Amino acid sequence: MKRRMFVKQLALAASVAAIGLGSTSLYAQGKTVKIGVLHSLSGTMAISETVLKDTVLMAVDEINAKGGVMGYKIEPVVVDPASNWPLFAEKARQLITQDKVAVTFGCWTSVSRKSVLPVFEELNSLLFYPVQYEGEEISRNVFYTGAAPNQQAIPAVEYLMSKDGGSAKRWVLLGTDYVYPRTTNKILRAFLKSKGVAEADIMEEYTPFGHSDYQTIIAKIKKFASEGKKTAVVSTINGDSNVPFYKELGNQGLKATDVPVVAFSVGEEELRGVDTKPLVGHLAAWNYFMSIKAPANDKFIKAWTAYAKAKNIAGHKDKPLTNDPMEATYIGIYMWKQAVEKAKSFDVAKVTAAMAGQTFAAPSGITSTMDAKNHHLHKAVFIGEVKADGQFNVVWKTKGPVKAQPWSPYIEGNDKKKDEPALMAEKKK
């Protein structure tokens, strides 16, 4: 009840504001276009999301310096949803109805994306989502520039099964207790079974958000590993729990040559607070690593280093780091610019149509292509081993970009789902 009132008032305020200012300052005269930036700048997710906001701002500066989008200057509107999932939806509504943004870049956790999704669909606005996720979703209003499970989780497990990865036969699926790890592990369990791994050779463990004492978990892993053949750990631990997890791993002497741990949510940024010397050899699977040698990556890192220095970004001004979600954000905003210029309009339907098949020379060294239908990027998969300095050595990569499968074939009933958002759009009508 209250919320509806609030929304009504908000809409009223927005329309008044639109009458007052909109007609003069927007599109028509000053030639500016607003974009929304919806990342948590406080709360638990600030650790990961703050740099994504800065990445958007950096890209905006670059684009504006080169004449903007179709001659329009981009004006970013930054809001702080404070790691509070319902607040994400409210802020999204505010961005769309009040600030009239043409597009929004934002969200990290799947739960925040699920929270804003109805808002974007109802108001028919665009969201660019830059983080790897569990799939099981295609919306016509969202472009997913992060990885789907087949672009990260499945190749990583396949690598560990291969001779080079150590021919792992037993598996520990370890994660934080929420939707992304649970869904990913469901997919992985089905995948492992299809490869002939027995039920007894899979152990699944979850810890709460912010868990900080991994003694018993690591003791359990050790025990499990000694009960049979070569064991590998797949970690979907999210957020800052990773620091105590890896510290304990190092202290307890569980070496990567004995029991390798492959992580899907640990990148350069997450390892910033960890002494990585005992962790050499543990793995991470991503679509980008800072250590990738490519001219586009050199340019990206250089731009970020200069930007972090100029804007005095804490941490990054002394030790600039780039990571996969930053790259995905960067690709997203440039693709949007290209699509707008192709469509010659900011109209959502026209831009969406123009997004299909957009390409961009990604910092990961490949040419990223937006799929013609399913709103996901074609991405190359890299597997890296942790080095003593906290960077990653790429030890395996796909030959070329991989098409995303948001509906994982390892979940029952997904074979009937269409690989494009048309279904949802029809439902709406």
Partner 1 sequence: MRIVLLVFFFLFSVPALALDKAAVEKLAAGEADERAAAVSALVAEGDQRAAEFLQAVAEGDVQTVEVKGVRRVFIVKGGQAVDALTGEKVDPVPEGAEDVVANNRLRKEIEGGLAALKLLAPERETRLAAAKELASGADAAMLPLVKKALEKETDAAIKPVLEVIAASMEVKGGSKEQRIAAIRRLADSNSPNSRTLLAEAATDADADIKMEAQKSLREVQGKLAWGERAGLLFAGVSLGSILLLAALGLAITYGLMGVINMAHGELIMIGAYTTYVVQVFFRKSDYFDWYLLAAVPASFMVSAAVGMVLERVVIRWLYGRPLETLLATWGISLMLIQSVRTLFGAQNVQVENPNFMSGGIQAFAGVVMPWSRIYIVVFAALVLFLMYLLLTKTRLGLFIRSVTQNRDMASCVGVPTGRVDMWAFGLGSGIAGLAGCALSQLGNVGPDLGQGYIVDSFMVVVFGGVGQLAGTVYAALTLGFANKFLEAVSGAVIAKIVVLVFIIFFIQRRPQGLFAVKGRAVEA
Which range of residues in 31-39, 62-70, 134-142, 248-256 is near partner 1 by CB under 8 A? 248-256
Nearer to partner 1, 46 or 296 (CB): 46
Q: Does 222 bind partner 1 (CB under 8 A)?
A: yes
- Tell me: does residue 243 bind partner 1 (CB under 8 A): yes
Q: Which of residues 50-69 bind partner 1 (CB under 8 A)?
A: 50
Instruction: CB nearer to partner 1: give 187 or 283.
Output: 283
CB of 80 to partner 1, least distance (A): 11
For partner 1, the binding residue among 228, 295, 357, 400 (CB under 8 A) is 228
Q: Does 399 bind partner 1 (CB under 8 A)?
A: no
Q: Which amino acid, one-letter code, is at 100?
A: K
- SS3 sequence of 275-297: CCHHHCCCEEEECCCCCCCCHHH
Minimum Å gap between C-beta 4 and partner 1 is 30
* Binding status of residue 227 toward partner 1 by CB under 8 A: yes
Interface residue with partner 1 among 22, 68, 118, 244 (CB under 8 A) is 244
298 binds partner 1 (CB under 8 A): no
Identify the residue among 183, 207, 364, 405 touching partner 1 (CB under 8 A): 207
Q: Which residues bind partner 1 (CB under 8 A)?
A: 41-44, 46-47, 50, 163-166, 177, 205-208, 210-213, 215-217, 219-220, 222-223, 225-229, 240, 243-244, 247-248, 250-253, 255-258, 260, 269, 272-275, 278, 281, 283, 293, 314-315, 385, 387-388, 393-395
